[in-house]
Amino acid sequence: MRIAVCIKQVPDTEARLRVDTTGRWVNEEDLPFQINESDEHALEEALKIAEARGGEVVVVSLGPSRVKDALRKALAMGAHRAVHLCDEAFDGGDALATARALHAALTRDGQEAFDLVLTGSQSDDVGFGSTGSVLAGHLGWPHAWLVMGIEVAEDGGSARVVREMESGTNEIARVPLPAVLEVQSGINHPRYASLKGIMKAKKKPQELLKAADLGLDATVVGAAGSRIETVSVAFPDSGQGAEMIEGDAATAAATLVQKLQKEARVL
Amino acid sequence: MSKKVIVVLQQREGKLHRMSREAIAAGQQLAAKVDASVEAILLGSGIQELAKEVAGFGLTTVHVADHEGLGEYTPDAYVEVLEATLAAATPDFVVFPHTYQSVDYFPRLAQALDAGLLPEVTALVDGEGGELNFQRPVLGGKLVATVRVKGEGTVLLSVQSGAFSADEAQPGQAAVESLAFDAPSTSREILGVEAIGGDTIDLSKADVIVAVGRGVGGEDKLEASQQLAQILGADIGASRPVIDAGWLPRDRQIGSSGQTVAPKLYIAIGISGAIQHLVGMKGATTVVAINKDPNAPIFTVSDYGVVGDLHEILPPLVEAVREAKGE
Ligand SMILES: Cc1cc2nc3c(=O)[nH]c(=O)nc-3n(C[C@H](O)[C@H](O)[C@H](O)COP(=O)(O)OP(=O)(O)OC[C@H]3O[C@@H](n4cnc5c(N)ncnc54)[C@H](O)[C@@H]3O)c2cc1C
Ligand SMILES: Nc1ncnc2c1ncn2[C@@H]1O[C@H](COP(=O)(O)O)[C@@H](O)[C@H]1O
């Protein structure tokens, strides 16, 4: 089975964020980055399927040159090769523009014939929750969002897919393959890259693609090819907000307990 | 040509999804801003009664797609029917409730229609020169982005839970019309629905909840929080990453894919406050947050906040509560 996994590199969820001088995004200098959480789960799922059935796992990522670290980690985890869509023209895309570029990479020259495409459910930075579904639309394949289980049928013609729904239930469906399955965090426990994996990753094929390599006009991808544009970002307005309790740990603890007793009367 | 906003409503077994009313309110407010009319589309099977109920909202028309092929939700059937309908109607905006079901299919519908896509709107705001702008959370809710729409043609947008009040949905008198469409089809077979494992603990009735997040740092670092819970007589709850990592069992998860709680006291420890968590706990009476990041969104819904390292704050807090309880 040939499986493509779309992974995005995003700021570390623990990172302290600062708004940059344009006011439109965070300052990326000195910011630690990681593979998007649900994408790492998607990669683990792809590796498990390929291990069970044989096959190849190709990781695909669109983003600036820092993304090569994410791809190297994916290769170290066990992906067979990496495709990096790296071109200023791709920057700042909405879900439609990004999916357009990913689609072009996944279908280029007909040389990439995949049986399954896995994505995460939602990116931890822009969080559209949409890119995988739009990609599926371009491919003309079925899709499912918030996937919490994948069992590929023996004949490879379909998969039993568990999809998370609201209110603590899952839906189970048989989905014909090829399909785009958008994996939700928690489906599995992603492996760590072993030392051996890290060594091997250095020799695995990595391809760099620009918009022109994919026959894409710069006006249909990135910010230019998007229908939405960020005007500004800001920290959420604290509204009525919390009453902040000051002091060292001991003082703060004592003050808090007193307030919970006397003001809120919940102790 | 006059402008048009269409709200696509979600229902289940003839009952409106709670967020459908919020979507109507959002659609009406959006329409007021761009001087448009508002219509609604209701999809499902056996939904004529519900359509009459929806007709009591301030909409010009409720379009009903009542077909057995729409009884059980599948993205292909929903996209098929809506693609044909919306391509003919050419609305300026189509508003969806930001539910798991809508987000499963509406991006794909945008692709099929070659329309704009704007997920998870939390507010409509006035931008430069009076231009309509939209707000949506980014970076897990740690920041709010203000975005504008560019280019021509329909835009599909979804509105986040709680962003628009259902109470603000204006009543009125709408015409009910049946939509004409080809019988929808799907390539998938729905095999069933299962409850997510181990729903043995019902947190919905808990009086006090101590909830831990990723910031706690590991399964082996839960002890101080557990001690606090014990002396408070509280139940332990958690954010999703804690469950995903296996630090606590799934039935401790609070949020949109976990339990919905409404305790008198909710203590959030090392939880950032992403919307998917907040929807599960915003019914709490008194909320305390302990977080080292002063900008963490959890503080926007808290009554009391302590900024600092939870590992330093918890031990004296446990002691202070113990004393207060006279134990
Ligand atoms: C469809 C969907 C459904 C979801 N459903 C749910 C759900 O039901 N429930 C849920 O919770 N999430 C859910 N999520 C995930 C949600 O979006 C967030 O990713 C999640 O809530 C974040 O959990 P967290 O706050 O524990 O982790 P993080 O966002 O990583 O926050 C950790 C916090 O800990 C703080 N911290 C770190 N170290 C310390 C320290 N030493 N002292 C003090 N503070 C510290 C940090 O400042 C940070 O604010 C869902 C996501 C999606 C896409
Ligand atoms: N730049 C990108 N490169 C590779 N995959 C991406 C990119 N952006 C989004 N994706 C994939 O699409 C999923 C959903 O992203 P989003 O629609 O931004 O929430 C992510 O989890 C990734 O799997």
DSSP result, A50-100: HHHH--EEEEEEES-TTHHHHHHHHHHHT-SEEEEE--GGGTT--HHHHHH
What is the average pLDDT score of chain B? 96
Q: What is the pTM of this model?
A: 0.97
Sheet holding B286-291, edge to edge: A243-244, B304-307, B286-291, B265-269, B208-212, B235-238
Asked if residue B131 has pLDDT above 90, the reply is: yes
A-B interface: how many C-beta pairs under 8 angstroms? 266
Q: Can you give the pLDDT at residue A27?
A: 96
Provide φ and ψ at B70, rounded to 5°. -110, 5
Residue B25: predicted pLDDT? 98
pLDDT tens-digit readout, B234-280: 999 999 999 999 999 999 999 999 999 999 999 999 999 999 999 99
Q: Residue B143: pLDDT above 60?
A: yes
Nearest CA in chain B to A225: B151
pLDDT at position B200 is: 76
Reduce the DSSP state of residue A148 to 3 states and report it.
strand
As a whole number of Å, the end-to-end CA separation of chain A is 59
Contact B118, B157 (CB under 8 A): yes
Percent of chain A with pLDDT over 90: 91
Spatial CB neighbours of B51, under 8 Å, sequence gap ≥ 6: B42, B62, B64, B66, B176
Largest CA distance in chain A: 71
A95 → chain B, closest CA residue: B117
In percent, the amount of chain B with pLDDT more than 70 equals 98
How, if at all, do strands B123-126 and A180-183 pair? unpaired
Ligand found nearest the CA of B99: 1
Mutation for A interface: B106, B109, B136, B143, most A CBs within 10 A: B143
Distance between CA atoms of A44 and A31, rounded to whole angstroms? 25
Instruction: List pLDDT tens digits, range A90-135.
Output: 999 999 999 999 999 999 876 668 999 999 999 999 999 999 999 9
Q: Which one of B107, B118, B136 has the shortest CB-CB distance to A133?
A: B107
The 8-class DSSP code of residue B171 comes to B
Coil, strand, or helix at residue B275?
A: helix
Residue A14: pLDDT band (50, 70, 90) is: confident
Ligand 1 centre from B298 Cα, in Å? Answer: 10
Give SS3 for B79: helix
